[in-house]
């Protein structure tokens, strides 16, 4: 739900920021119709979303100076207005006036909290880019620049309204001195565009992380920069554009869009607080008194604002709620179907006893080549393999079960990415390779993925042979041996490249829990032996066999599993599985595109499961 609320928060902030900036042409300088303001805002939004596909690396260096100049301008204008109109406005910082305000205003003062939320609306987008900037830099920027300048700006507007109370609408633009009006208006528009760009980029990053965690349908992710982590998601970009234009053109005024943005911000704040409480309890393991103090202090403030914005639901606040519910249904339907399909594959996997009973030939003809069988399960033999060999009379000489896992960590180091183990006896030539990525890593960006996989496979065979040849030695003593360069040429098929070590044997204890049977092995120098032993000669034969099979061809075998609800299932399951999940799988990217599999070497195996 947090992802869906954040997305709805993004589009309301975009519409509100652009419409507020463009609204300056309708204040005190040009009294144009509101339709012209809306048209200009829509044009800016269209241009902004069209530019996303080209990335921001060419003009991104302008963002920081524009935002800094914007904050310095509004802070300076605020100081000027305080000095010129009413310096006594600074007394408003006293908490006494807060009590007096609610005592005098009563119910109307409490209801005005929904509008007061707009004073801080947009500042939370600073923290939306935590994935692109260090936390400390965001905290310093907010504490030393954003927060003081906002206080000065609003105090200056209040001082101006003390003298000109009839200029409540558009008070900011009215309070700008005549001589610098147009420069400030230009900077305000540019700052609104930069802020909109920041929220769009943060949304792309959020969707990318949801994809890695399996909480969002598979969509295309494009990297627009080679040196920076800048991504572009076309489908989400155009959906956001349509929604932003609909909100801007549908409401046509800042008041209702402001109510929508305020509602989304308060809900995001509440959800973040609840998640923080869970982190304090489960991750940080804080004392219950500290958790209780944090929860009471935060929820009292945020709960008060939330109760106030509830009155604005029928005045535009319903928009983020509807959009959030729509995204939540999509995300929940995808996750529900994915979990069901994964459970089916886990329970229908083939036992090793059945594989061993087939013998080294697996009861079929072993043709030259290597078959990479992709599966989501990290234990046992997937059902797709048994389905394949029972319908076709041949299987490749070498079979590697590839399982790509996205872990709930930021990134996985390259040397810890591939975990290889052998399945069955050596003459079966069957292996499992678990490939691990973090939610910021991208499998498709690995252009040499196949090369790395085989390097780690050869490395495992070499290490396995050395371990069998030195049963009394530990891993570290083997890795400290020296190298005979001629052996490298034989192992690498007359190629001088060295093969880095990635990991030792893997023992998998659960679906998502992977443990190393030995400590991880990472070396930068090749292995050596003084005198070839029988086990090393066997290793040489297997390495040569793997190289011959690799030269014969590599085939990527992917499963096309269709999940359908049983006839006796309830209506909810039928709607979720047969319609929603099936529709999402049909319009989303396939596994072949997701895994960056060459089309000419792809073999798809279809199967149907009823749940």
Q: What is the mean pLDDT of residues 154-174?
A: 87
Q: What is the DSSP letter of 360?
A: T
Tell which wins on pLDDT, 556 or 513.
Answer: 556
Q: What is the mean pLDDT of residues 145-160?
A: 90
Domain positions in the chain = 1-315, 351-442+449-465+536-610
Least reliable range by pLDDT among 281-290, 376-385, 570-579: 376-385
Distance CA 290, CA 466 (A): 54
Q: What is the mean pLDDT of residues 26-33?
A: 54
Q: Are 422 and 431 in contact (CB under 8 A)?
A: yes
Distance CA 583, CA 308 (A): 39
Distance CA 484, CA 455 (A): 19
Pinpoint the alpha helices (H) of 107-233.
107-111, 113-120, 125-128, 135-141, 147-163, 171-174, 181-212
Whether 511 has a pLDDT exceeding 60, the answer reads no
Tell which wins on pLDDT, 530 or 72.
Answer: 72
Give the domain 1-315 fold.
Answer: Amino acid/polyamine transporter I (1.20.1740)
Tell which wins on pLDDT, 293 or 324.
Answer: 293
Least reliable range by pLDDT among 112-126, 361-375, 523-537, 573-587: 523-537
**First and final C-alpha spacing in the chain:** 26
Mean pLDDT of the chain, nearest integer: 77
Residue from 503, 492, 510 nearest 463 by CA: 503
Residue from 208, 256, 306 nearest 7 by CA: 208
DSSP H/E element including 585: helix 582-587
Least reliable range by pLDDT among 368-372, 483-487, 593-597: 483-487
Q: What is the mean pLDDT of residues 337-361?
A: 82
Model confidence pLDDT, tens digit, residues 413-467: 888 889 999 988 888 889 999 988 876 676 655 557 888 888 899 888 888 877 7
What is the dihedral sign for C-alpha 233, 237, 240, 242? negative
Instruction: State residue 8's pLDDT score.
Output: 66
Q: What is the mean pLDDT of residues 461-485?
A: 58
Q: Are 23 and 254 in contact (CB under 8 A)?
A: yes
Residue from 73, 94, 74, 90 nearest 82 by CA: 90
Residue from 556, 545, 553 nearest 599 by CA: 556
Instruction: State residue 30's pLDDT score.
Output: 52
Give the rounded percent of residues in the chain with a pLDDT score beyond 90. 10
What is the dihedral sign for C-alpha 68, 71, 77, 78? negative
pLDDT band (50, 70, 90) for residue 290: very high
Instruction: State residue 32's pLDDT score.
Output: 55
Whether 97 has a pLDDT exceeding 50, the answer reads yes
pLDDT band (50, 70, 90) for residue 523: very low
Distance CA 400, CA 556 (A): 10
pLDDT band (50, 70, 90) for residue 227: low
Q: State the residue for tokens 């029928």.
A: 314
Instruction: State residue 501's pLDDT score.
Output: 32
pLDDT band (50, 70, 90) for residue 526: very low
Q: Are 518 and 475 in contact (CB under 8 A)?
A: yes
Tokens describing residue 392: 């076709």
Model confidence pLDDT, tens digit, residues 41-90: 888 888 888 888 887 776 777 788 888 999 999 999 999 999 999 888 88
CA 588 centroid distance within chain: 17
Q: Are 385 and 605 in contact (CB under 8 A)?
A: no
CB-based burial, 500-521: b 16+ in 10 Å, e otherwise? bbbbbbbebeeeeebeeeeeeb
Whether 525 has a pLDDT exceeding 60, the answer reads no
Whether 327 has a pLDDT exceeding 70, the answer reads yes
């Amino acid at each position: 739900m947090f992802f869906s609320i954040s997305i709805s928060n993004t589009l309301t902030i975009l519409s509100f920021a652009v419409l507020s900036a463009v609204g300056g042409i309708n204040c005190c300088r040009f009294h144009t119709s509101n339709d012209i303001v809306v048209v200009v805002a829509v044009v800016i939004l269209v241009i902004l979303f069209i530019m996303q596909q080209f990335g921001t690396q060419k003009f991104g260096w302008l963002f920081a100076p524009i935002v800094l100049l914007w904050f310095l301008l509004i802070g300076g204008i605020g100081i000027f207005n305080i000095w010129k109109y009413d310096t006594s406005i600074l007394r408003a910082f006293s908490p006494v006036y807060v009590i007096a305000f609610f005592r005098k205003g009563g119910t109307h003062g409490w209801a005005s909290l929904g509008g007061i939320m707009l004073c801080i609306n947009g500042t939370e987008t600073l923290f939306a880019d935590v994935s692109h900037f260090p936390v400390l830099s965001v905290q310093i920027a907010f504490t030393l620049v954003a927060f003081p300048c906002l206080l000065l700006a609003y105090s200056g507007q209040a001082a101006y309204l003390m003298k000109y109370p009839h200029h409540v609408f558009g008070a900011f633009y009215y309070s700008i001195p005549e001589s610098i009006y147009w420069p400030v208006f230009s900077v305000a528009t540019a700052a609104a565009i930069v802020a909109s760009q920041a929220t769009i980029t943060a949304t792309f990053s959020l969707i990318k992380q949801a994809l890695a965690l399996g909480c969002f349908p598979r969509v295309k992710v494009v990297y627009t920069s080679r040196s920076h982590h800048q991504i572009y998601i076309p489908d989400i970009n155009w959906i956001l554009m349509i929604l932003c234009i609909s909100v801007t053109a549908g409401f046509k005024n800042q008041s209702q869009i402001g109510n929508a943005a305020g509602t989304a911000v308060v809900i995001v704040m509440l959800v973040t607080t609840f998640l923080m409480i869970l982190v304090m309890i489960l991750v940080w393991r804080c004392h219950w008194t500290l958790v209780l103090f944090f929860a009471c202090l935060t929820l009292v403030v945020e709960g008060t604002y939330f109760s106030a914005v509830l009155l604005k639901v029928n005045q535009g606040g319903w928009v983020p709620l509807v959009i959030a519910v729509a995204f939540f249904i999509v995300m929940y339907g995808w996750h529900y179907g994915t979990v069901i399909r994964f459970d089916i594959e886990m329970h229908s996997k083939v036992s090793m006893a059945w594989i061993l009973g087939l013998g080294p030939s697996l009861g079929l003809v072993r043709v030259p080549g290597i078959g990479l069988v992709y599966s989501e399960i990290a234990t046992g033999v997937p059902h797709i393999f048994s389905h394949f060999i029972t319908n076709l009379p041949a299987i490749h000489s070498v079979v590697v079960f590839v399982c790509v896992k996205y872990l709930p960590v930021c990134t996985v180091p390259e040397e810890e990415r591939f975990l290889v183990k052998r399945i069955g006896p050596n003459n079966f030539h069957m292996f499992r390779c678990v490939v691990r990525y973090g939610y910021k890593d991208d499998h498709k960006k690995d252009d040499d993925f196949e090369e790395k996989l085989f390097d780690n496979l050869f490395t495992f065979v070499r290490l396995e042979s050395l371990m069998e040849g030195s049963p009394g030695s530990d891993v570290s003593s083997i890795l400290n041996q020296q190298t005979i360069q001629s052996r490298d040429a034989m192992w690498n098929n007359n190629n001088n490249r060295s093969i880095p070590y990635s990991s030792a044997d893997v023992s998998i204890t659960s679906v998502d829990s992977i443990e190393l049977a030995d400590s991880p092995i990472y070396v930068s120098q090749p292995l050596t032996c003084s005198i070839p032993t029988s086990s090393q000669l066997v290793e040489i034969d297997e390495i040569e066999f793997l190289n011959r099979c690799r030269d014969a061809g590599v085939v990527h075998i992917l499963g096309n599993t269709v999940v359908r609800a049983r006839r006796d299932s309830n209506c909810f399951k039928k709607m979720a599985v047969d319609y929603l999940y099936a529709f999402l799988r049909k319009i989303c990217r396939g596994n072949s595109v997701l895994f960056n599999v060459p089309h000419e070497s792809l073999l798809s195996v279809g199967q149907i499961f009823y749940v």
